[in-house]
Chain A
Amino acid sequence: DAKTTQPNSMESNEEEPVHLPCNHSTISGTDYIHWYRQLPSQGPEYVIHGLTSNVNNRMASLAIAEDRKSSTLILHRATLRDAAVYYCILRDNKFYFGSGTKLNVKP
């Protein structure tokens, strides 16, 4: 299974944009890029997913590099409720979670 690499932690100020990077240099052509986030003692929450083109939804935007070896999750205006662990996952059949990025949002 292709693996992902994310920074262990990041910090952001409230109301500012946040760019969460993910490297997936061994991605295959059929792997979708999924992002989930998890608050403490809760199940992961779906954020966004894409294959090749950039994607936008009400929660975030996903920017995918042209060679698909990296992607960036963009939260346009971070709020305190966005503080969570964010997981970037390559999906072909099953989900294998990496260590994720713990996002801290400062008021």
Chain B
Amino acid sequence: GAVVSQHPSRVICKSGTSVKIECRSLDFQATTMFWYRQFPKQSLMLMATSNEGSKATYEQGVEKDKFLINHASLTLSTLTVTSAHPEDSSFYICSASRRGGGTDTQYFGPGTRLTVL
């Protein structure tokens, strides 16, 4: 299957700092990438859709100024958590969309565990 990577896999930061997470599609070009957040024992929550060369679209309730998304190329999207606070601690997962069989199949990265102290 298609491969999507994330970096870093784990990050610990102090409250008030910003953290950047990278998402790369390694073997295909992805015009659309998605960012999710998952709290312990909960399901994935879609945060935003990242479109190459245009602004990201955010789901209701997600602060666009806090979660900055940049999709500068067809293989890379970044999520920056600005002024992180302990409540932002979560598992962040990206996915890249690849068209096939009449629909877009999403391939997910391995996730990034963010801990804000």
Contact = CB atoms under 8 A, between A and B. Distances in A.
Contacts of A21: none
A12 B104 CA distance: 31
Interface stretch (B44-52, B65-73, B78-86): B44-52
A60 to B, nearest CB: 14
A41 B91 contact: yes
A42 B101 contact: no
Interface string B93-115: 10100000111111111110100
Contacts of A45: 108
B61 interface: no
Given A41-B91, A94-B46, A97-B43, A49 B106 contact: no
A4 to B, nearest CB: 11
A87 B45 CA distance: 13
Given A94-B34, A95-B95, A44 B44 contact: yes
Interface of A is mostly: loop
Contact of B43 (A32, A51, A91, A100): A100
Interface string B7-51: 000000000000000000000000000101000000111100100
A17 B69 CA distance: 42
A95 B111 CA distance: 17
B101 A49 contact: yes
A49 B91 contact: no
Nearest to A31: B103
Interface of B: 1, 4, 6, 34, 36, 43-46, 49, 91, 93, 95, 101-111, 113
Which 4 A-B pairs have CB atoms at the shortest separation, nearest pair first?
A43-B108, A97-B44, A32-B103, A97-B43
